[in-house]
Amino acid sequence: MRLCIAVRAFLKAFKQPEEGKRFLEPTSQASATAAPSTAISSSDHSHLRLLGFMQESSRLIDFLKEDLSSFDDAQIGAAARKVHEECAKCLEEIVTLRPLMEEPEGTTITVPQGYDTVKIKVTGKIKGHPPYTGTLVHKGWKAHKRSLPKQTGEFITEVICPAEIEVR
């Protein structure tokens, strides 16, 4: 389940680079509560670089682009376990993620008036104004450490990972 959530979060950041940029760059307390930026610098390729690191460490792109229809569940599970382990290590080295809420999923939560909409997403049958009472569906994530290595040299955005040729 967590692998699915992690992959979905990664793909969302990949499709919406401004979201990925927001959690990869250091922020001040004031900018953390500001509305997310809708513009992204054309020279910022941190989302692609993160994807490149995930490919390099665990062959994530290869796994996601592979046609799995010819493999049985045991083979897919074994491959997913290895990709999961390596992606988790890579991600922890680059971005230390911690849950926003410590309560277990499924717990009843009261969302107070004036809650931070960046940290809490209220869904379902919303009527009136806060406080709202509902079930914690997802704990959320926050970045504690952001250490995507600095870009050195030219970064060609179309190439996430170069083709690899072994000479014998």
pLDDT per residue rounded down to tens, the chain (168 residues): 555 556 666 666 666 666 655 555 554 343 444 444 444 455 667 788 888 888 999 999 999 999 999 999 999 999 999 999 999 998 888 888 899 999 999 999 999 999 999 999 999 999 999 999 999 999 999 988 777 766 666 655 677 777 877 778
| Domain boundary assignment for the chain | 1-98+143-163, 101-139
b/e per residue, 99-129, with b = 16+ CB within 10 A? eeeeeeeeeeeebeeeeeeeebeeeeeeeee
Is the pTM value of this prediction over 0.75?
A: no
Task: Give CA–CA dist 157/150, Å, rounded.
Answer: 15
- Is omega for the bond preceding 131 within 30 degrees of 0, making it cis? yes
